[in-house]
Structure 1
């Protein structure tokens, strides 16, 4: 017997397979793509599905999303794996899709998992069939499509970036599994603090979280009320790691993240290294730490030392390439460097203030002199007129020119601090301010 949506046997299936959503409303995460009113969701709901590449880490719902697209768009679903399939398999899928379209008028969605593993000739095999509409092509990749996919294939598809799920998203999935008939239907009890551990341990990977829950359920024992219950000790057995970073609701875990961040901000490399090691020893996903370090580099160091962000990204890359424990030394290097780097939150404050202004201000039009003018009509409307090309000006600076809308032309967002490289940036800005003030060619008075 086959599952009506996913074409899978309805006998034993892993929990992650049973909990796949059957509608976009049940799909958890990726709100930036499929939330209400978002362009991709509108395209699906309006029957304007197009070929695409889904780029994101494992377990964020790429395969599930492809199946949902086929379901809600009433398309036949075909799938090939770049790991297991070759050109012969592609040809067979093409023939089935063509026959289905000609004999029954039914379109096909072809899902290609790990499409980056196909070589150039294999990728090229899809191109004519994407162009003539034999199928809607949906490729999934964990690698950067710009480097791993042919430009010809990229030009015929749209790339959508899927993100790691937030802990709140994972908790939604876990709670749904506990109550759903496809899951445990209320037969399994798991305390909120234990669920929080599962969510944090998943690293934003829905499949990993549901697998942890499923294995933990096998170890569950009856509690005083006769209900099967997963204890922290049983979860520790499943994860084979210490849970001492957690307490009720997982607060200790988040306290340690806070301590790490504040140690870096406070320029204490020993404190920062200590909390990094505590988190790693407690089983925290090193890539989670890497993401936090990249954020810290921009939020608390910024342009006082731009190398901090690059070093953080290098450490992230090293962790992804080397794994544990080798990659964790790169995280330690980044943490200690960030702690001793000069500090500035000027970019962080400027960004927040600018975003706040944009949300509350009217939508100011782009000044006419800054507008693009690719056609004669646009030029006749004055687009780009009197724009001053900076490279033709002394020192490549058009003194007196304006780049903000006229109504807010005097606003200042970025205020460099008197630390690190921002000392030099502040000095340069002061020199430019003097040139602007003395210019006889001011755009706005």
Structure 2
């Protein structure tokens, strides 16, 4: 491996020392690496292709790329998009070309955090991926659809790596305990079973985090005869202030916000509370959540229960005034109320439809009877003429009156649902529309429109 791109540190963390040395030792990701899976078959046959490995931190993206290179007997070069530029890309291209020309050997170029390269840097890979100068493997924690160029994506297959299952994380910890990589000399290390489960859970599907926790716990372990022991008391010290995975602004951020919103929409207070707790535990700003709760109150409850919106606003106000934990409890109260409330997206749907119509239609004139007439001149021009003051009409409703531009007079945007308070609103609107129809019938009966024959 070129010294230009990598340098071996004097000390490596346990997570680096415990990288699997063969594909058979790799733990997890059976959905893409299990027997008969296309990627596993391609690797076994030595028919590697350019790919993007998309998944959260600590699930083995770098380890996979290294194992692929070893299985294919290919030279392995790596770049970090955080540090490298176009100059570095050109240098590794030259190495790959020399390797292919001199030894007829393939090169795998692994680009970590590939989403951090800008468009021009990503474009620099295209001709070399196209002509087979190297097999490109990019690793990203962000959604490739948003972060990578379509041209690069079209030349690579995207594989989604998942967070490790609890059992997989426990197996990785056990392997480390059985291995001499911990460097404890003559002393063995024992991890109590309850502490093992606790450590694996705290790692939150991240193998690197699990091994880092183990390494730290080993330093704090209690000496007991000829061994060092990690029990729950030691682990409690290690896990003090432990934070669950929550990538502010990244995919996990939006996935958990989405999960909370969908739980509210699906009338699951338990789901909504769980995702709220996950976000708060991960460091999400409670004020951001409060704003989203206000959105839910209008988008998913609306007029089915108008009390939802002021309750959401009150939770937001409580968070701003009092902070944690009082504000967080108020937010929890609001989302459980919203989840249990009757649902309607009628206002949301109607508003979106109106906005689409306004943006795609001409700027229709305000009908004359709806125009304001503050001056004599405007009155003489019939501004406000024939306007019917609703409070002077029977039931304070001017049946048959139109309040839309003439060109779209028959449009009906707001369709209340038959749930909650909107059931009453629906019945009221139906009653008013029946009055409109009766008024229109009487008007046409008494003053039928003129035809060409007339």
Calculate the TM-score normalised by the size of structure 1: 0.56
Question: Does residue 206 of structure 2 align to residue 201 of structure 1?
Answer: no
Match of 2:105 in 1: 106
Contact 1:272 1:336 (C-alpha < 8 Å) held by counterparts: no
Cα offset for 1:11?
4.8
Using the alignment, how far apart are the partners of 2:235 and 2:175 within structure 1? 19
Match of 1:169 in 2: 168
Using the alignment, how far apart are the partners of 2:196 and 2:108 within structure 1? 36
2:136 partner SS: strand
2:20 partner SS: coil
Which whole-Å deviations, capped at 9, do the CAs of 1:64-116 have from their partners, x for residues lacking one?
11111111111110011111000000000000010011011111000011111
The CA RMSD over aligned residues, in Å, is 4.0
Contact 1:286 1:328 (C-alpha < 8 Å) held by counterparts: no
Match of 1:321 in 2: none
* Matched pairs, number: 287
Residues 68, 330 of structure 1: alpha-carbon distance in 2 compared, 3 angstrom cutoff: farther
Cα offset for 1:46?
0.7
Q: Report matched runs for 1:17-36 at 5 Å.
A: 17-36=16-35
Using the alignment, how far apart are the partners of 1:62 and 1:77 within structure 2? 14
Which whole-Å deviations, capped at 9, do the CAs of 1:218-270 have from their partners, x for residues lacking one?
011112x4310112222122221489xxxxxxxxxxxxxxxxxxx99x9895x
Q: Report matched runs for 1:183-198 at 5 Å.
A: 183=182, 187-198=188-199
Residues 35, 183 of structure 1: alpha-carbon distance in 2 compared, 3 angstrom cutoff: farther
Contact 1:75 1:108 (C-alpha < 8 Å) held by counterparts: yes
1:80 partner SS: strand
Contact 1:221 1:229 (C-alpha < 8 Å) held by counterparts: yes
Segments of structure 2 that go 5 or more residues without pairing to the other structure are 244-262, 285-299, 302-323, 344-417, 421-454
Cα offset for 1:57?
0.9
Cα offset for 1:335?
5.4
Question: Computing the radius of gyration over CA atoms, which structure comes out larger, 1 or 2?
Answer: 2
Displaced runs of 4+ in structure 1, greater than 3 A? 6-11, 183-186, 266-269, 271-281, 284-287, 325-335
Using the alignment, how far apart are the partners of 1:198 and 1:13 within structure 2? 21
Residues 268, 115 of structure 1: alpha-carbon distance in 2 compared, 3 angstrom cutoff: closer
Match of 1:56 in 2: 55
Calculate the TM-score normalised by the size of structure 2: 0.55
Contact 1:60 1:163 (C-alpha < 8 Å) held by counterparts: yes
Match of 2:96 in 1: 97
